[in-house]
Structure 1
Amino acid sequence: MTLDPLLPPDFIENRRIEAKLAQGRDGRGDLPDSIWETYSAFANSGGGSIYLGVKELSESHYVAVGIPDIEKVMGQFWNCLGDRNVVSHRLICDKDLVQVMTKTGNPMLIIRVPGASADIQPVYIHGDPYSGTYKRIRSSDVRCSREEVQEMLDAL
């Protein structure tokens, strides 16, 4: 269990929660490339929350370290979200689904990804549904098989 007062007491990565450090090479903040795999996985698996600025110390212990340049990371997120070469569907239009939490030190960014309706699945990354569609299994983003993607496409 996490002991960080900025995180929920039962915070642990699972089917609905993902933590990412988002510090970048300079330690000031950068949007991690892997966020889009998680975005796709949550979208195709009923939704979830991505916490940026959280360090995993062990399997059940996380600490909020924050992101010094939060505006940069937010800008990167919104720019990429609108780019269909990055992600196929923009599920987040409401700024209320992207929240900055600051209580002490540097702010964290919490992104709530809604589950995509069956009529727009699969949500995929990098322009190719067959190589860029993910689903969430426990605390992992797992690439969907060609057959799984085809089932989603056939449901349209």
Structure 2
Amino acid sequence: MDTSFSETIDRIRAQGTDDALVEVKTSARKLSSDIWDSVSAFANTAGGHIILGLSEQDGFRPAQGFDIDGVRDQFVEGIGDGGATGAKISNPPAYGMIRETVDEQPVLLITIAANAPGNRPCFVTAKGLPGGAYKRIDDKDIKLSAAEVFELRNLSRRMRPVGVMRRVGARPLVAG
């Protein structure tokens, strides 16, 4: 995070809401089902942070009974690092995890990287395209329109390396 973790907590508490940079999920014992929408949204826009183990409803206070290891394992499996059968996301982003504390209680900070243009759109596999692809606008995960998905997919095709084109016998286009 560009700002310190404690400054981020202070900011979202003062705002009374998460925002374009940070999504907060209680996820005390089980990941919230909409976490994958947020992962998709951050991956398809500028990246962001997900904080697990805080309750937005309780003023961004630590969630009672937060099982950091269990929730971590659920996230790792869902993003596809626990085996392909558990993956919830297609075109998953790079991510990192750090254990932090808020009010002397553990929380899990997950940093989601923005996907490179050639790896977009990231989408919730079970929802398919276009219904499972999102973008982040303020504190909302907004479904991408069919036109936005089309543009991202075409951008992905245009971003293919020249070496790949040569292997399949295609010639790259050269401007001018």
* 5+ residue gaps, structure 2: 1-5, 157-176
The 8 Å contact of residues 24 and 54 in structure 2, kept in 1 or not, is answered as yes
Contact kept in structure 2, 1:67 and 1:108, CA below 8 Å:
no
1:37-76 alignment, distance < 5 Å: 37-57=37-57, 61-65=59-63, 68-76=66-74
* Correspondence for 1:87: 89
Render the CA deviation track for 1:38-92: whole Å, top value 9, x for unaligned.
000000111000011111247xx42233653211111111111114751012323
Q: How does 1:112-123 map to 2 (within 5 A)?
A: 112-123=111-122
Structure with the larger RCO, 1 or 2 (CA within 8 Å, 6+ apart): 1
Return the structure number with greater helix share: 2
Say which is worse superposed, 35-44 or 62-71, in terms of deviation. Answer: 62-71
1:141 matched to 2:175: no
- Residues of 1 paired with 2:138 and 2:65: CA distance? 26
Q: Residue 145 of structure 1: CA displacement?
A: 0.9
- Residue 37 of structure 2 aligns with an amino acid whose one-letter code is E
> Could you tell me how far apart the structure 2 residues matched to 1:125 and 1:57 are?
25
RMSD: 2.3
**Residues of 1 paired with 2:153 and 2:98: CA distance?**
32
Aligned to 1:26: none
Matching residue's letter, 1:17: V
TM-score for both structures, normalised by structure 1: 0.80
Q: Who is 1:10 aligned against?
A: 11
User: What is the number of residues matched between the two proteins?
Assistant: 142
Residue 78 of structure 1 aligns with an amino acid whose one-letter code is V
| Cα pair 1:123 1:129 within 8 Å, conserved | no
AA aligned opposite 1:86: K
Greater displacement, 136-145 / 10-19: 10-19
Give yes or no for contact 1:6–1:64 (8 Å, CA) kept in 2. no
The runs of at least 4 consecutive aligned structure 1 residues that moved more than 4 Å come to none
Paired residues for 1:97-112 under 5 Å:
97-102=96-101, 106-112=105-111
Residues 66 and 106 in structure 1, CA contact (< 8 A), matched pair in contact too: no
Distance (Å, rounded) in 2 between the aligned partners of 1:63 and 1:13: 13
User: Deviation digits for residues 13-49 of structure 1, max 9, x if unmatched?
Assistant: 11111111112xxxxx111111100000000111000
Larger Rg: 2
